[in-house]
């Protein structure tokens, strides 16, 4: 069976066929837009203060947003031990990069020596 | 004329590269037009070659210096001595990827890269990159493979340091140059091992006579491992974020394709030189496949976890390039593990599909990662920095760039209907039949990929419009928009019609790599 047949004959389900998924996406988007027209607030006016973001606190500061680097801090915190290790590997030192090449070549040569390759 | 297309596809950009400075004396627009014409003609030639290959159904062979391009063996000899180009499905698949990426990158850089006296060098070097990529994808000769890899490496390292007035660009170029020099030196030693034993550089000839001696296996390691380093595989990937982040955006897009040319080398040497399923004496493909799988899984995981915590947009994307290379290695690795299974049942059941997924991902990755790097170029243009913390509200002013970024981000995360989904689902489903754990890791990595691109979207595109942090407020040049539009179209079209791409490009590519299977 060719890959073409594999896709279009054995797996024509909604989970795979991108054209069906696209059609579904458009239908859902239209439904949301239609629902928006029916139920969302009608007193929205473009070009007024309504469109400005609401932030409490000191609004004079321009960087009141949560910064990109603040995102996923919990993920990083939880994996702190892992990041300490991998950060030290990505230190920008060309000598270390070469050592990793030598290390990988050595491992592969050991595999040959051990008859595994 | 059409029989000379294989060599013309390499020589046209080569001669164009050296003619461009002369043409520039007339006017810089003439140089730009000539360069565009040369790259376009290469694209046309590659398409014509693909059509010819599809029509003839057998690899195209072109012998240089012979009375006829098809004369493989010289009179009186029973082994080839001349330089030979051999174009099969995998070569043309890679050539098409490289040619399209360089074309789009060049169109983007026509206005993006400032018009100054150094622009001549930029154009020449981009042409030479194309020469290097096409040359090593077409050649059937190990020494020429080395030569074209050198051309590719030298031109790429010079382009990485093109923005020499930036603090780290020259060092990034130096790193890339050193990495490439060491890799090609190893490669040359491996080639010397072969020549000393068999007296030939011809890959097809060596494939037939190889005895899998200890020296042959050492040569394999000396050739494949440094190429894997140039492709950005873990644990030799550290140069990737350094080089990708410092290069101008269109160069980074082309560098993705250059790294994939090295990956082509890994696969080509592993299969076309060493792969010999009809011989009793061969490599242990089981171990080799598992090495590729382990490298792939590590590349996926370390790449994406490192990307998640970056706030330099280009470094973040560079780490994703490592992560996506992992998918390619995983798909092909699974195919390699079951390649030599008795009867070939496992290979027929899922190994071939896994390889197709991995190879399909090469082209998909080149296009969506190219698109993402081009959008990062617009971010850098607008905000004058790569730091996501210093960006906001770009969606208010650059709607088209925002849409392109969304398309690229969804594609790299494997969300339908974009092309990343098409190749990833093939990898997930076939790898699942080999090992569910590996497929789950691959899916988990896709979730983290989406998370990290949400971070970029949040940082650069959302938030209020703030004119104070905008460095360049002018509308984007038409060439920049057009280049992103082409990639965006390809990303969507290949996702909507993956069956056609698989049928006409990917299946012949796999057949070229593992003929008879």
B20-29 pLDDT, tens digit per residue, is 999 999 999 9
- For residue B476, the Cα-to-chain-centroid distance in whole angstroms is 27
Which residues are CB-contacts of B19 (< 8 A; sequence separation ≥ 6)?
Answer: B34
Question: Which percentage of chain B shows pLDDT scores above 90?
Answer: 73
Range in B55-69, B212-226, B480-494 the model is least confident about = B55-69
| Cα–Cα dist B112/B480, whole Å | 7
**Which of the residues in chain A have pLDDT under 50?**
12-14
pLDDT reading at B190 higher than 70: yes
Report yes or no: B130 and B42 within 8 Å, Cβ to Cβ: yes
- Nearest C-alpha neighbor of B259 from the set B273, B239, B289: B239
- Nearest C-alpha neighbor of B173 from the set B236, B250, B98, B252: B252
What's the pLDDT score for residue B517? 65
- For residue B251, the Cα-to-chain-centroid distance in whole angstroms is 13
Mean pLDDT of chain B: 91
Predicted ipTM of the assembly: 0.90
What's the pLDDT score for residue A12? 45
Helix (H) or strand (E) segment spanning residue B86: strand B84-87
B330-359 pLDDT, tens digit per residue, is 998 998 888 777 777 888 888 888 999 999
What's the pLDDT score for residue A13? 46
Report yes or no: B255 and B247 within 8 Å, Cβ to Cβ: yes
Per-residue exposure over B56-71, b if at least 16 CB sit within 10 Å of its own CB, e if not: eeebbbbbeebeebee
What's the pLDDT score for residue B50? 95
Please name every residue paired with B63 in a beta bridge, in sequence order, or none if there are none: B84
Look at A101 and B229 and tell me if their CB atoms are within 8 Å.
Answer: yes
Look at B499 and A116 and tell me if their CB atoms are within 8 Å.
Answer: no
Whether chain B has a CB inside 8 Å of the CB on A64: the answer is: no
Domain ranges of chain B: 284-517
User: Region B391-404: what's the mean pLDDT?
Assistant: 93
Alpha carbon separation from A83 to A75, A95, B305, B456 (Å, rounded): 10, 21, 9, 20
Question: Which percentage of chain B shows pLDDT scores above 70?
Answer: 98
- Nearest C-alpha neighbor of B425 from the set B438, B442, B408, B448: B442
Look at A4 and B175 and tell me if their CB atoms are within 8 Å.
Answer: no
Report yes or no: B329 and B438 within 8 Å, Cβ to Cβ: no
- Give me the helices (H) in B210-351, please: 214-231, 239-246, 249-268, 285-308, 313-337, 345-346
B237-282 pLDDT, tens digit per residue, is 999 999 999 999 999 999 999 999 999 999 999 888 887 554 555 6
Q: What are phi and psi of B277, to 5 degrees?
A: -65, -15
**pLDDT band (50, 70, 90) for residue B234:** confident
Residues of A in contact with B309 (CB under 8 A): 72, 76, 83
B133-184 pLDDT, tens digit per residue, is 999 999 999 999 999 999 999 999 999 999 888 888 999 999 999 999 999 9
pLDDT reading at B51 higher than 60: yes
What's the pLDDT score for residue B402? 96
Angle between helices B5-24 and B119-138 (to 10 degrees): 170
Report yes or no: B411 and B364 within 8 Å, Cβ to Cβ: yes
| Cα–Cα dist A72/B353, whole Å | 35
B460-470 pLDDT, tens digit per residue, is 999 888 888 88
Residues of B in contact with A49 (CB under 8 A): none
Residue with more model confidence, B223 or A1:
B223
- By the 10 Å C-beta count (0-12 exposed, 13-18 middle, 19+ buried), A97 is classed as buried
The DSSP symbol for B258 reads H
| Cα–Cα dist B62/B139, whole Å | 9
Between chain A and chain B, the number of residue pairs with CB atoms below 8 A apart is 138
Q: What are phi and psi of A9, to 5 degrees?
A: -110, -45
User: Region B107-128: what's the mean pLDDT?
Assistant: 93
What's the pLDDT score for residue A14? 44
Nearest to A3 among B460, B495, B502 (CB): B502
Nearest to A72 among B306, B308, B426 (CB): B308
Cα angle: B41, vertex B482, B48; to 5 degrees: 25
| Cα–Cα dist B499/B506, whole Å | 10
Residues of A in contact with B425 (CB under 8 A): 16
**At B392, is the secondary structure helix, strand, or coil?**
coil
Look at B226 and A101 and tell me if their CB atoms are within 8 Å.
Answer: yes
| Cα–Cα dist B343/B356, whole Å | 20
Look at A117 and B222 and tell me if their CB atoms are within 8 Å.
Answer: no
Look at B287 and A116 and tell me if their CB atoms are within 8 Å.
Answer: yes
Report yes or no: B249 and B160 within 8 Å, Cβ to Cβ: no
Look at B311 and A108 and tell me if their CB atoms are within 8 Å.
Answer: no
User: Region B393-411: what's the mean pLDDT?
Assistant: 95
- Nearest C-alpha neighbor of B139 from the set B207, B93, B85, B81: B85
| Cα–Cα dist A18/A2, whole Å | 19
């Amino acid at each position: 069976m060719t890959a073409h047949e594999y896709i279009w004959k054995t797996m024509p389900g909604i989970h795979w066929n991108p054209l069906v998924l696209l059609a579904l996406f458009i239908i859902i988007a239209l439904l949301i837009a239609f629902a928006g027209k029916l139920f969302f607030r009608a007193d929205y006016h473009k070009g007024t203060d309504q469109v400005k973001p609401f932030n409490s606190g000191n609004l004079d500061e321009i960087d009141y947003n949560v910064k990109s680097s603040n995102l996923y801090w919990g993920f990083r915190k939880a994996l702190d031990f892992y990041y300490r290790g991998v950060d030290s590997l990505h230190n920008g030192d060309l000598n270390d990069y070469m050592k990793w090449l030598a290390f990988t070549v050595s491992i592969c040569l050991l595999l040959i020596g051990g008859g595994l390759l | 004329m059409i029989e000379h297309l294989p060599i013309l596809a390499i020589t046209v950009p080569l001669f164009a590269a050296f003619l461009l400075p002369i043409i520039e004396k007339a006017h810089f627009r003439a140089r730009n037009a000539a360069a565009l014409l040369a790259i376009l003609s290469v694209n046309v030639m590659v398409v014509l070659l693909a059509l010819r290959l599809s029509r003839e159904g057998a690899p195209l062979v072109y012998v240089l210096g012979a009375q006829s391009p098809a004369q493989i063996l010289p009179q009186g000899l029973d082994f080839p001595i001349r330089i030979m180009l051999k174009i099969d499905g995998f070569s043309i698949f890679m050539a098409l990827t490289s040619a399209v990426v360089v074309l789009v990158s060049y169109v983007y850089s026509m206005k993006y890269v400032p018009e100054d006296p150094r622009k001549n060098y930029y154009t020449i070097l981009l042409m030479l990159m194309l020469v290097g990529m096409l040359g090593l994808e077409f050649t059937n000769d190990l020494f020429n493979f080395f030569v074209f890899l050198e051309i590719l490496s030298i031109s790429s390292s010079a382009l990485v340091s093109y923005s020499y007035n930036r603090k780290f660009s020259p060092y990034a170029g130096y790193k890339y140059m050193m990495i490439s020099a060491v890799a090609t030196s190893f490669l040359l030693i491996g080639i010397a091992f072969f020549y000393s034993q068999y007296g030939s550089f011809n890959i097809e000839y060596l494939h037939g006579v190889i005895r899998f001696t200890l020296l042959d296996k050492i040569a394999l390691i000396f050739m494949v491992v440094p190429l894997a380093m140039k492709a950005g595989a873990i644990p030799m990937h550290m140069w990737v974020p350094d080089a990708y982040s410092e290069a101008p955006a269109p160069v980074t897009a082309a560098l993705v394709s250059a790294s994939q040319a090295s990956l082509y080398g890994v696969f080509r040497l592993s299969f076309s030189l060493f792969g010999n399923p009809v011989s009793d004496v061969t490599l242990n493909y089981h171990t080799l496949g598992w090495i590729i799988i382990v490298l792939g899984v590590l590349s996926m995981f370390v790449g994406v976890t490192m990307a998640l915590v970056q706030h330099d947009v280009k470094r973040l994307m560079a780490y994703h390039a490592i992560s996506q290379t992992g998918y390619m290695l995983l798909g092909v690795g699974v195919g390699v593990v079951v390649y030599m299974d008795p009867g070939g049942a496992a290979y027929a059941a899922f190994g071939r599909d896994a390889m197709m997924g991995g190879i399909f991902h090469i082209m998909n990755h080149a296009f969506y990662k190219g698109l993402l790097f081009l959008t990062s170029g617009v971010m850098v243009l607008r905000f004058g920095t790569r730091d996501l913390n210093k960006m906001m509200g770009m969606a208010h002013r650059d709607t088209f760039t925002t849409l392109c970024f969304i398309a690229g981000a969804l594609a790299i995360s494997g969300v339908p209907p974009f092309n990343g989904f098409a190749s990833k689902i093939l990898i997930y489903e076939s790898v699942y039949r080999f090992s569910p754990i590996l497929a789950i890791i691959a899916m988990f990595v896709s979730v983290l990929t989406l998370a990290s691109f949400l971070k970029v979207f949040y940082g650069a595109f959302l938030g209020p419009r703030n004119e104070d942090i905008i460095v360049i407020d002018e509308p984007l040049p038409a060439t920049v928009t057009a280049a992103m539009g082409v990639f965006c179209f390809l990303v969507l079209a290949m996702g909507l019609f993956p069956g056609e791409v698989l049928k006409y490009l990917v299946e012949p590519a796999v057949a070229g790599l593992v003929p008879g299977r």
